[in-house]
Amino acid sequence: MVSEDMEARAKGPLRGLYVGRYQPFHKGHLHAVKHILGRVDQLLIVVGSAQYSHTRRNPFSAGERISMIYEALDAAGVDRARYSVFPVPDIHAHSLWVRHLVSYLPRFELVYANEPLVKRLFEEDGKCRIEAIPFLERDRFSATEIRQRMLDNEDWADLVPDRVADYIREIDGVSRVKELAETDTRA
């Protein structure tokens, strides 16, 4: 596998893939992005479930999540030329999902994933190397935890980069999360 990577590098930059829903983008995600950028030439950040917004699990639209990522990485001094952000809709047929990603994105060699399903789907596909991401206090830096804190009127802002917190306030995101929780929604 290593030699294939070398061959890929010879042809162009080594590209890593990082898939998430980023509801919202938090400090754990930022930590992971920095970690991966130390290991690849270019990073493809996939904003998954891109077709959803205004649901309990997906309160923010793909466009809003992309804006959060730009805000956070700009503030962290990450050069835009080092990464690209791609909205990718779900296809609801998991056995096709890896090929769906491959079809949507430029070539990539490395996949950074901790989620068991993502890892298994790439393993069964068998064409990419998969690497784990060192977590930053996983229980705390969790999007589910952040949305719960918003609902409970607890402090959530220190779990996300400052510019993401500003952005969420600007779009009145906390009210949106609360209102969605009062409604009987799917997805």
- Distance from C-alpha of 129 to C-alpha of 112, rounded to nearest angstrom: 9
84 near its own copies (CB under 8 A): yes
Strand order in the sheet with 42-47: 83-87, 42-47, 15-20, 110-112, 129-131
186 near its own copies (CB under 8 A): yes
185 near its own copies (CB under 8 A): yes
162 near its own copies (CB under 8 A): no
174 near its own copies (CB under 8 A): no
The DSSP string of 133-171 is ---SSTTTS-HHHHHHHHHTT---GGGS-HHHHHHHHHT
State the number of binding residues for its own copies (CB under 8 A): 53
**Please, are residues 46 and 88 in contact by the beta-carbon 8 Å criterion?**
yes
Q: Which two tokens stand for residue 73?
A: 């990485």
Stretch that binds its own copies, among 22-30, 84-92, 133-141, 147-155 (CB under 8 A): 84-92
- 92/155 with CB nearer its own copies: 92
Stretch that binds its own copies, among 28-36, 92-100, 129-137, 152-160 (CB under 8 A): 92-100
- 158/175 with CB nearer its own copies: 175
- 43/160 with CB nearer its own copies: 43
- 30/66 with CB nearer its own copies: 66
Neighbour-count burial of 170, counting CB atoms closer than 10 A to its CB (0-12 exposed, 13-18 middle, 19+ buried): exposed
- Distance from C-alpha of 16 to C-alpha of 41, rounded to nearest angstrom: 8
77 near its own copies (CB under 8 A): no
By CB under 8 A, name the binding residues for its own copies. Answer: 50-55, 61-63, 66-67, 70, 79-81, 84-89, 91-97, 99-100, 102-107, 115-121, 175-176, 178-180, 182-183, 185-187
